[in-house]
Chain A
Amino acid sequence: MSAGRVTEGMLGRRLLSDLRASTHRIATAQRQIASGKRIDKPSDDPLATHNALRLRSELAGIAQDMRTIDDTKGWIDTTDSALATVTDTVHRARELALQGANGSIGQTERNKLADEVDQLIETAKSAANSSYGGRYVLAGQDTDDPPYTAGAVDTYDGDSGAIARQIGPGVSVQINIPGVSVLGNGGADNKLLSTLRTLSADLRSGNLPGLRGPALTNLDKNLEDVTSARGTIGALSTRLDAAQSRLAQVEESTTALLSENEDTDIAKAMIDLTTQQSVYQAALQSGQSLIQPSLLDFLR
């Protein structure tokens, strides 16, 4: 036995398997560059794959929360502008009550004031019927029906159900103000609509004590209701902005993490590719010069 013998067959096989390995590495580097991903299948890096799945799920959750926040902001803006109209209505009603309470004006004037109050009632109701994306924002959970109907009937047609949205992992906020808490359910509940109806009646009947006393007190209370509702909405809007910018930050850092986890380091991959290509060419050249000559070339 003579260890260290080298035969032509061995050389050929060795060269072939080296070339094959080199081609394989070139293909890997090319795939990493072309796809931009370091991981093509789970076995390329099982741990990084596991992380990638988790990070992608987090990103999808963040995207969903951001979409929810965008939608909620529209909802909040609609609510706020409806409540702003209602606020204006209360202010105007107060002015009208003060004018009507003035003993120097005549009943004809008061009737005109009463007409305007009736208009204010319709304005307030139509503001309360504001909708966003086909949903009535002040109707509680009964979002597909307008909460109030135009005309003499002031009954609230919604419910007092709360609508909540998730604006972050584990963070839910109530986003709606049921209209009944501001405008009331008609009748004698001393909410805005009831106050305005009484005001209109008092104006028409010339009930000056009523106009000077309960009407103003009630309007002040109603204004408080609206203001407090707007305060809630304002605070919510701030909270949404904060949540949005926090989510944007988390999204940025998670995306960076994901990229670090699975994206190709292009510079490194390019160097790998170039190195492997020159190795491959060198192997081919050495194969050419190594395998061809044998003793047969020199003997005649």
Chain B
Amino acid sequence: MNVSSFMGLQTALKGLLAQQRGLDVTAHNLANANTVGYTRQEASFVASEPLAIKAGALANGAGALLGQGVEVEAYRRLRDNFLDVQYRGQSMSLAGNETTAGALGSIEAALNEPGTDGISALLDKFWSAWGDVANYPESQPARQALVGHAETLANALRSFDARLTAVASEATAEYTQITGPSGPIVAAANEIQRLNVMIQSSVTAGRAPNDLLDRRDVLLDELSGYAQVSVTDLGGGLIRVNFGDAAAPLVDGTNPPTWPQSLSAPGGRLGALIDLGPLTAGYHARLNDVARSLQTSVNAIHSPPNFFTATLGSEAATLAVAVTAATVKPGSTAAVGANDLARAIAALRGGAADQKYADLVGTIGANAASVNRQLQTSQALVDAADTRRQEVSGVAMDEEVTNMIRFQRGYQASSRVMSTMDEMLDMLINRTGRVGL
């Protein structure tokens, strides 16, 4: 079989087109160099199906395969799904730690310890006020000052208790907002489902929906901050997304998302918000214990009348001073100089209430310190996972520019081949057989 004289032109054209596609992909990569979640793409070239030439084409009479140029086989998306799994796992713990650290930070700020305005300083002032009353049991101003200090202390306990309640209810509100009908979960789930439909039709039509896949991965990254996300590939471009410990998959192929669902330990930000409830409840109980110790230890000496009143079970929220300067009782007898009770109460300094409060502050501090350390660790791990992902998928300018030159030169070379062919054909068509003309 003879080879057409024009075949070289065709080969050069294929080269031109392929180099142009390569340049197009480079342009796309450079344009998206700063797009979040963009995965660099690569035009993958492959030599065209060769032309079989029958026997006798070569000197020894054998047949041959003649190359017919280049084709773009695929536009590959350079991504490692295993790194996505790692990144999403770390991003989940990072978001959870951030939420817990934020809440503990605001609790710590409300504590104001160690300092001159915290509850421990007010306890010190309260005991000292009792000491002053013991020194001046006759003095109305000393008792007035004592009642003032006692009220300030009770106020501080109540307002710290209110701060704990507020942290818990803010957490509940945030959880409701995130999981609610206008929250980010349902928005992301709907978008993923729509992308599933679009990706499926592209895949069926044999097209590679690289940019749609990138968008879907960004949404999965976003979801992974809220809770544990696990992705199952259903084939045909479809995925199933399991979210936290929800019973049904959040997104399953092209089916409409199943949401809302109940979560108990989803991990991530939602998990941290759920865990804040029991955490603050624990602090509540310990703070109540502090208030109860204060109330019972003082009342045991002062009663009757009771110095403090509080409701059993919510002592910190209800602690109140039940006496006035006139009814403060410095001594067990009616004698104006009697100070035995005041002395006994002043000696409670450093007792159960002080110790329990210091322990509570220590616990909150230790919890906050631990979550801050975890936060740093998970931040470092997220950074590392992201870096590894960028190593594979990120757009490197120098690389793209180099490719650009490569494709430009390739294009120039192919067009040079074409003009050479042209000259050759010109020779054949216009000059051949014109002897004597």
Contact = CB atoms under 8 A, between A and B. Distances in A.
B395 A9 contact: yes
Contact of A142 (B336, B383, B390): B336
B333 A141 contact: yes
A52 B340 CA distance: 30
Interface string A165-197: 110011010001000000000000000000000
Given A53-B113, A58-B350, A141-B338, A161 B333 contact: yes
A14 B362 contact: no
A161 B337 contact: yes
Interface string B303-340: 00000000000000000000000000001010111111
Interface residues of B, number: 67
B73 interface: no
Contacts of B335: 140-142, 159, 161
Nearest to A63: B128
Contacts of B336: 141-144
A6 interface: yes
Interface of A: 1-10, 13-14, 17, 39, 41-47, 49-50, 52-54, 56-58, 60-61, 63-65, 67-68, 71-72, 133-135, 139-144, 159, 161, 163-166, 169-170, 172, 176, 262, 294-296, 299
A42 B120 contact: no
A3 B354 contact: no
B236 to A, nearest CB: 25
A295 B398 contact: yes
Contacts, number: 197
Interface stretch (B90-98, B165-173, B341-349, B420-428): B341-349
Given A141-B336, A144-B138, A165-B135, A9 B365 contact: no
Interface in B211-256: none
22 contacts: A3-B388, A3-B391, A4-B391, A7-B390, A13-B390, A44-B369, A45-B365, A46-B365, A49-B113, A49-B361, A56-B121, A56-B124, A60-B124, A61-B127, A141-B331, A141-B335, A163-B339, A164-B343, A166-B134, A172-B343, A294-B401, A295-B398
B397 A143 contact: no
Contacts of A172: 343
A9 B113 contact: no
Contacts of A2: 391-392
Contact of B386 (A13, A39, A46): A13
A159 B334 CA distance: 12
A5 B368 contact: no
A49 B128 CA distance: 22
B123 interface: yes
B104 interface: yes
A47 B80 CA distance: 45
Nearest to B363: A46
Interface of B: 33-34, 78, 80, 104-105, 108-109, 111, 113-114, 120-121, 123-125, 127-128, 131-132, 134-136, 138, 331, 333, 335-340, 343, 346-347, 349-350, 354, 357-359, 361-369, 372, 383, 386-388, 390-392, 394-399, 401-402, 405
Contact of A57 (B124, B347, B383, B397): B124
Contacts of B367: 43
B138 A134 contact: yes
A230 B351 CA distance: 37
Given A54-B358, A61-B349, A43 B372 contact: yes
Contacts of B338: 141, 161, 163
A47 B370 CA distance: 13
Contacts of A5: 391-392, 394, 396, 399
Given A60-B128, A68-B131, A141-B337, 4 more contacts: A9-B390, A10-B390, A43-B366, A159-B335
A49 B362 contact: yes
